[in-house]
Amino acid sequence: MASTQLKLKHFLCEQDWTNEELETVMDLAAELKRQVGLEIPHEICKNKTLFMLFFEESTRTRNAFECGITQLGGHANYLTPKATQIDHGEGPKDTVEVLSRYGHAIGIRNTLVGGYKYMKAMVQHAKIPVYNMQCDIYHPTQSLADLFTIREKFGKDLRGRKFVISWTYGPGYIRPLSMAQSLVTLMPRFGMDVTLAHPPEFTLMPEIMKQAEENARDAGVKFEVVHNMEEACKDADIIYAKSWGPIMHTEDEKEGLAIIDRYKDKGWVCDMKKFEVAKPKAIYMHCMPADRGIEVTDEVIDGPMSVIYDEAENRLHVQKALMALTMR
Ligand code: CP
């Protein structure tokens, strides 16, 4: 059943929303996607303003929200700490109290340690809904678009489907845990068996693992952890392969990068070998940006198993649905 009680609801974390509420967003996303295809205008948020506060760079999240609010008849303000008084020390209370007087929702990207805490501080004082555009713990607009994409490919009944989220070797910088953490907690709730694969140093936050186990138990599905990517991919329906940092193992960046480098050429890449052991119609997913030739071979990312561009497009439809249902 659809939920009509979503006005002003914050979206910081998937777990704060019931399955029914998330279904409502996905149903509306499907309807808005159909309307885009038919070129039917849908100015549900006419004259409304979305503030987008980015502490870091973005291609998909920013542009999906910005194009999305335009299609809904509203406007987006792109903000950074430097472009506001945040860099001069203005705190979350004063920032959000003021922005609440002007606009109708605010999204924040802050993936540094403390990013989620910053968003929670905003929520305490916000008179408008606050959206998590990715933090250090969760990336809920991406995970919901991923679930929406999986349902487009396999249908809504996902019982018996095996979802693999695997670490891949990704050098150069420490990527946040948020993507993997959002996926392991969300996917079991919608009926998938989830396998998490990573080398020993790349564990997720203990409270997230507990939540994922609880969600799997409640849904009557499996949740397992393995330390071998090929083993994880056996009989998989979905292979979601991306890198994250050894953040639970060390806070030291240099040490973290050295740990990542231990796994170069050790099989932590999404190549055809993984699809040879997966189910015949298995799909490849990645939230992007993907390190081509490092995290994934061209044969896979450009192959028939890859759904990455549908997945990226669905950010637009899902985020539009979120705004249409929650904006003040
Ligand atoms: N997947 C994702 O969040 O992409 P951006 O970093 O480009 O927003």
**267 phi, psi to nearest 5 deg:** 90, 5
CA distance 149 to 155: 9
* Averaged pLDDT of the chain: 98
Q: Mark 169-189 as b/e (b = at least 16 C-beta within 10 Å).
A: bbeeebbbbbbbbbbbbbbbb
Considering the entire predicted model, what is its pTM? 0.98
User: Per-residue pLDDT tens for 51-97?
Assistant: 999 999 999 999 999 999 999 999 999 999 999 999 999 999 999 99
User: Per-residue pLDDT tens for 241-263?
Assistant: 999 999 999 999 999 999 999 99
Report which ligand 1 atom has the smallest distance to the Cα of 57.
6
pLDDT of residue 1: 67
Q: What is the CATH code for 14-139+312-326?
A: 3.40.50.1370
Given CATH 3.40.50.1370, say whether it is the number of domain 142-309: yes
- Residue range 225-248: mean pLDDT, rounded: 98
Residues with CB under 6 A from ligand 1: 58-61, 134, 142, 287-288
CA of 217 to the centre of ligand 1 (A): 31
Band (pLDDT 50/70/90 cuts) for residue 150 is very high
Q: Ligand 1 pocket test: which of 315, 316, 319 has the largest number of ligand atoms within 8 Å of its C-beta?
A: 315
User: Per-residue pLDDT tens for 91-122?
Assistant: 999 999 999 999 999 999 999 999 999 999 99
Q: Do domains 14-139+312-326 and 142-309 have the same CATH topology?
A: yes
Domain ranges of the chain: 14-139+312-326, 142-309
Q: Ligand 1 pocket test: which of 67, 178, 288 has the largest number of ligand atoms within 8 Å of its C-beta?
A: 288
Distance of CA 54 to the CA centre of its chain: 16
Which residues have C-beta within 8 Å of that of residue 177, sequence separation ≥ 6? 136, 137, 204, 205, 208, 244, 245, 247, 248
